[in-house]
């Protein structure tokens, strides 16, 4: 089966694939994870707010984003945001956002909806008695959330947050549809088309994704054991 494979194309290209394509993919994944967790935490607190309007806004946003395919959201931001910015600023021409900025904004806003649900379940897992104790000590809502609830919620949710980040790492490959972003699959595809070795390159990409995702999954399993709270 592998007798017709040209492994030399991988040997010639692996350094460029890792230092350009995979580096960009990891950078976008980490940036989107941090931004998504921050925005997702804010959304989770909004969803749990006693203010019905604030809760409705956050709930509507989460439900909308989770009902739309990610690849469609990528297209929306890449093609429509320049026109939206032009309309907001009164510019006569579309304002270019850039492929990286567009992809980063897309993943932060999209993943925040999923991180929100993870954080919401983490916040709700904290016993109400601790919340009441925080209020009894004179804390306000934000002090209680920052000092009592969120630290424990993050500890409980670390394995699930990392699991969602693995999904994010795999989803980043969808920016391939933009063509101008030097992420791992895009770079491999260009090399494959240049050398006429699509099978070899795509098999190599699949192996890299499998190894990295498996390694991260094992790390999550180990973290789950270490961060488990015995009640």
Burial of residue 88 (CB within 10 Å: 0-12, 13-18, 19+) is: exposed
Specify if 190 maps to a domain: no
- The 10s digit of each residue's pLDDT in 127-148 is 777 777 777 777 777 777 777 8
Calpha distance 118→123 (Å, rounded) = 9
Report if residue 214 sits inside a domain: no
* CA count, 13 A, side-chain hemisphere, 109: 16
Q: What is the pLDDT of residues 165-174, one digit of tens each?
A: 999 999 998 8
Does 58 reside within a domain?
yes
Residue 65 maps to a domain: yes
To the nearest whole percent, how much of the chain has pLDDT over 70?
A: 95
What b-and-e string marks burial along 133-151, b requiring 16 or more CB atoms within 10 Å of the CB?
A: ebeeeebeeeebbeebbbe
pLDDT at position 61, please?
Answer: 92
In a domain, 46, yes or no: yes
* Residue among 64, 5, 16, 24 at smallest CA distance from 176: 24
Q: Is residue 210, in this structure, part of any structural domain at all?
A: no
Q: Label each residue of 131-144 as H, E or C.
A: HHHHHHCCCCHHHH
Is pLDDT above 80 for 40?
Answer: yes
Residue 5: inside a domain, yes or no? no
For the chain, what is the domain count? 1
Q: Which residues neighbour 31 within 8 Å (Cβ) at sequence distance 6 or greater?
A: 104, 108
Instruction: Please report, for the domain that includes residue 38, its CATH number.
Output: 1.10.3720.10
Q: If you average pLDDT over residues 13-36, what whole number do you get?
A: 90
Q: Is residue 227 part of a domain?
A: no
Q: List the domain range (segments joined by +) for residue 173.
A: 23-179
Nearest in space to 227 (alpha carbons), one of 148, 135, 162: 162
Q: What is the average pLDDT across 46-55?
A: 87
| Radius of gyration of the chain, Cα coordinates, nearest whole angstrom | 21
Instruction: Give mean pLDDT, residues 71-100.
Output: 78
Is the distance from CB of 137 to CB of 66 less than 8 angstroms? no
């Amino acid at each position: 089966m592998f007798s017709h494979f040209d492994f030399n194309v991988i040997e010639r290209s692996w350094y460029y694939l890792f230092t350009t394509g995979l580096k960009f993919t990891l950078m976008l994944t980490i940036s989107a994870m941090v931004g998504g967790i921050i925005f997702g935490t804010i959304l989770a607190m909004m969803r749990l707010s006693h203010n019905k309007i604030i809760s409705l806004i956050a709930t509507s946003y989460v439900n909308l984003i989770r009902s739309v395919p990610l690849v469609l959201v990528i297209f929306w931001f890449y093609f429509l945001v320049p026109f939206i910015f032009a309309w907001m600023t009164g510019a006569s021409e579309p304002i270019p956002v850039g492929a990286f900025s567009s992809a980063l904004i897309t993943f932060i806003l999209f993943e925040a909806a999923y991180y929100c649900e993870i954080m919401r379940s983490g916040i709700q897992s904290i016993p109400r008695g601790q919340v009441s104790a925080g209020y009894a000590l004179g804390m306000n809502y934000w002090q209680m959330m920052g000092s009592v609830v969120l630290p424990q919620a993050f500890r409980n949710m670390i394995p699930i947050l990392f699991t969602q980040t693995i999904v994010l790492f795999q989803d980043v490959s969808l920016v391939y549809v933009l063509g101008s972003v030097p992420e791992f699959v895009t770079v491999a595809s260009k090399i494959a088309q240049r050398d006429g070795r699509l099978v070899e390159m795509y098999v190599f990409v699949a192996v890299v994704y499998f190894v990295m995702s498996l390694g991260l999954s094992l790390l999550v399993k180990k973290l789950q054991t270490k961060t488990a709270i015995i009640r």
